[in-house]
Amino acid sequence: MNQEIPSIFSAFQCCVCGGDNKRWFSTNRAPHPFDSPGNLTCMDCGVRFPVEHGYLNLQVGPEEPVVPFQKLMQMKGPVAVYEGVWRPLGYFIASKHSFPKDLDRIANLIQRPNRMVLDLASGPGNVTRRLGRVMPDSTIVGVDLSTVMLGRAVRLTRKEGLKNIYYLRASALTLPFKDETFDAVSCCGALQLFPQAIGEISRVLKPGGQFVCQTTIGPKKAPVLVRAADRVLKFSWFYLDDLKDRLSSFNFNLISEERSYINYIFLASKAVEASPS
C-alpha cells in the first residue's frame, strides 16, 4: 500500500532522471522501512527502486563497470572474511596500526551532533555501525555497490539492534541525493578506486560540512611486486599532491591529516561561500 514517505527519502534525487518527485510503497509498517518489502518510485520517470534483503536498491540499470579489486568485494568468500581477517591484516601492513582502533578514531573525527551522515563505500558497515552507535540521534546512510557487502552489513546492523541506519545500493559517481543534503560524509578504504567521486561528495555535503576519509597514498615509485599486483587487481592509490589538489578544486579545506606508511587519514570541511557584500 502507499504510505507516508519516510523522512530519509526527503533528500532523494532520482539517479535516472534527476527528479525528486517520489512515492513510497510498502506492504506493512515495520519498525524500520526496509524491514519489509517495498519500493520507492520516481513519479517523474516511473522507475521503481525495490527494497531487497534489507537495503534499497537504487542501482537498477546496467551494471557499473568495476575494477578487479572491486569485483572481489562482490564475492561471498572475500566478503565473509573481510571484516575479521582481510581488512585488519591489510590495514596493519599498510599502516602498522590497529584497524578496530583506527575505525573508532575515524568515527570520532566527525563532530557531533549531526543530523544526516553519509558513509560512502560502506562495505559490511564497519564505520557505518560505529557512527550509528556514537550518534544515536542522527540518521546514518550507508551506500555501497556490492549486494553481498550490503547483505552482510544489514545482518550485522540488525544483530546490533541499530535502527538509525539505512543502507542503499547506489553508485558513488551518481549519488541519489539532492545538493547539500548531508552534514558529514565518511569514506574509508575505497576513495582511491573512484577519485572522481570527490565532486559528488562535495555536491551532497552542506557548506561547512565535514569529510573524513581513510585512503591509500602511493610512493612515487612503488616496488615491483606492488606495481605488478596493481596491474592485476587495480586497487590503486593517490599521490598526495594530486589528492590535495582534487580536494581544493572541489572547495574542501584540509583540517587535519595523518600519514603512516601508505595509509592516509584526513579531515576536511567544505568551504562556506562568502555572503555577497
Three-class SS of 191-257? HHHCCCHHHHHHHHEEEEEEEEEEEEECCCCCCHHHHHHHHHHCCCCECHHHHHHHHHHCCEEEEEE
CB 213 within 8 A of CB 265: yes
Q: Write out the chain's pLDDT in tens, 277 residues.
A: 445 566 778 889 998 899 999 998 887 777 788 988 899 999 999 999 999 999 999 987 666 655 555 555 565 665 555 566 556 666 676 677 877 788 888 888 887 777 899 999 999 999 999 999 999 999 999 999 999 999 999 999 999 999 999 999 999 999 999 999 999 999 998 898 889 999 999 999 999 999 999 998 876 655 544 454 455 444 567 888 989 999 999 999 999 999 888 889 999 999 997 544 4
- Other CB atoms within 10 Å distance of the CB of residue 130: 19
Distances (CA, A) of 170 to 53, 92, 93, 100, 185: 15, 29, 30, 26, 15
Strand partners, 39: 25, 50
Model's pTM, two decimal places?
Answer: 0.85
pLDDT of 233 reads 46
pLDDT of 138 reads 92
Q: Which of helix, strand or coil describes residue 135?
A: coil
CB 165 within 8 A of CB 98: no
Residues of the chain with CATH 3.40.50.150: 68-270
Write out the three cell numbers for 124.
Answer: 559490511
pLDDT of 277 reads 41
CATH number of 68-270: 3.40.50.150
Strand partners, 165: 140
Distances (CA, A) of 219 to 261, 265, 269: 9, 16, 26
pLDDT of 80 reads 59
- Cα–Cα distance, 262 to 50 (Å, whole number): 39
Omega prior to 207 cis, within 30 of 0: no
Helices (H), 53-190: 68-72, 76-81, 87-95, 99-109, 126-134, 147-160
CB 121 within 8 A of CB 195: no
